[in-house]
Amino acid sequence: MKKSTLMKLALTLVAIFAIMGAQAQTYPAAIQDPAHANALNYVQNTETTYQTTGLGLTLYVAPDPVYSPLYNGVGSVGINASSQWRWVWGADFATGTQIKDWTTLENYCAIPAGILPAAGSTLSVWVAERQAAACADATGRNHIITVLPRPTAILDGANTNTDWSVAATNVFYRCGDGYVDNLIPTFTEAGAPYDAYAYTITVTRTGFDATGAIVVPQTDVTATFGAPLNRLATVGAGGFVASTTQALIPSNMVYVQNVGVNVRTRYTFTLATVASRASTLSYYRANIANAFYAEGGADDVVVYWLNLPPVTGPIYHIPNSFNL
């Protein structure tokens, strides 16, 4: 080939790359996951991903804008037909354990729950791009996933203003009815970056006679107390409704009746389920309907007894008219 021809070819290649560079755009502000319709919900990572144990997630990587200048973050539109990605986990890209082999047009990877380490540990994920098996990024990009334990909690009665006498831990009583108290849920989720939780509390009511025998069977009366005892979390971090630090029992606890007569009454409040902002977001990332975690252990129960005040009977004496 003539020297002049080689020079023309070199100049042509320079011109092509100059044009590509001029057309190149910056990385998209966000990427849409097809599993979440119309949601540009993936953004460039500036922090560790915190994911609840047992729940997988998907990660995306932006294509090189020189090769894919028209990519806008929606689906595979604009990705260069020769672009491929490979995903691994481990110390680096070169020696990591493969999660997903080189795949054309797929700039994403599902990280299954099965490869996530135990709660309290981290997983280092790497990804690299190549062009038609000819030229690859040897180093790749890295992202850290920190695995969180499932949220748990305990429930305590506040005994506000010491209105109640204490029979045992979280077992309270008093004479009379028409009283309330504050319930205090205490949450645990080691390592979670956001201190926000939700919960559901159930309530049952049972009637007893003076000997301790049940005369009114246990009945679920949660509906009587309503929404204040159920702080629900919706799917997606934007809709999360965090709990308050205390839950005021919203309605007075009153006697239950047996055949129209008030009897000694027991109210049992049980912390039934809990969720956190982190766990709710983890379900969202996994594209699974949000779920609360079951509680209901011995340290999740608070009991209130409403005792009947005794009615003093008539006084007896030897009448003045007694016949001696």
At 176-201, the pLDDT tens digits run: 999 999 998 988 998 888 778 888 89
The whole domain housing 135 covers 25-148
Max intra-chain CA distance, the chain: 151
The residue among 86, 118, 148 that closes a domain is 148
List Cβ neighbours of 105 (8 Å cut-off, separation of 6 or more).
Answer: 76, 79, 81, 83
Would 315 be classed as within a structural domain?
A: no
Would 324 be classed as within a structural domain?
A: no
User: Could you give the CA distance from residue 324 to residue 309 in angstroms, rounded to a whole number?
Assistant: 39
Residues 302, 157 share a domain? yes
DSSP state of 280: H
Q: Which residues pair with 265 in a beta bridge?
A: 207, 306
Three-state secondary structure call for residue 84? strand
Would 63 be classed as within a structural domain?
A: yes
User: Could you give the CA distance from residue 108 to residue 79 in angstroms, rounded to a whole number?
Assistant: 12
Which of residues 120 and 244 earns the better pLDDT score?
A: 120
List Cβ neighbours of 54 (8 Å cut-off, separation of 6 or more).
Answer: 113, 150
The answer to whether the CB of 265 falls within 8 A of the CB of 305 is yes
Would 16 be classed as within a structural domain?
A: no
Q: What is the pLDDT of residue 277?
A: 87
The count of other CB atoms within 10 Å of the CB of residue 199 is 27
Residues 99, 199 share a domain? no
Would 164 be classed as within a structural domain?
A: yes
The residue among 148, 180, 197 that closes a domain is 148
Number of domains the chain is built from: 2
Q: What is the pLDDT of residue 25?
A: 57
The residue among 148, 180, 213 that closes a domain is 148
Pairing of strands 152-157, 108-111: unpaired
Would 8 be classed as within a structural domain?
A: no
User: Could you give the CA distance from residue 243 to residue 125 in angstroms, rounded to a whole number?
Assistant: 34
Would 313 be classed as within a structural domain?
A: no
Residues 267, 125 share a domain? no
Q: What is the pLDDT of residue 238?
A: 53
Residues 226, 144 share a domain? no
pLDDT digits (tens, 9 = 90+) for 278-312: 998 899 899 888 888 999 899 999 999 999 999 99
Would 14 be classed as within a structural domain?
A: no
Question: CA angle, 307 as apex, 305 and 308 as ends, to 5°?
Answer: 155
Residues 160, 286 share a domain? yes
List Cβ neighbours of 32 (8 Å cut-off, separation of 6 or more).
Answer: 38, 39, 40, 41, 42, 73, 74, 75
User: Could you give the CA distance from residue 245 to residue 186 in angstroms, rounded to a whole number?
Assistant: 8
Return the minimum-mean-pLDDT range out of 25-34, 65-74, 122-131: 25-34
Instruction: Go through 158-167 and write b for each residue having 16 or more CB atoms within 10 A of its CB, e for each that does not.
Output: bbeeeebeee
Prediction pTM value? 0.82
- For residue 39, give the CATH number of its domain: 2.60.40.10
CA nearest neighbour of 85 among 98, 100, 69: 100
Q: How confident is the model at residue 154 (pLDDT cuts 50, 70, 90)?
A: very high
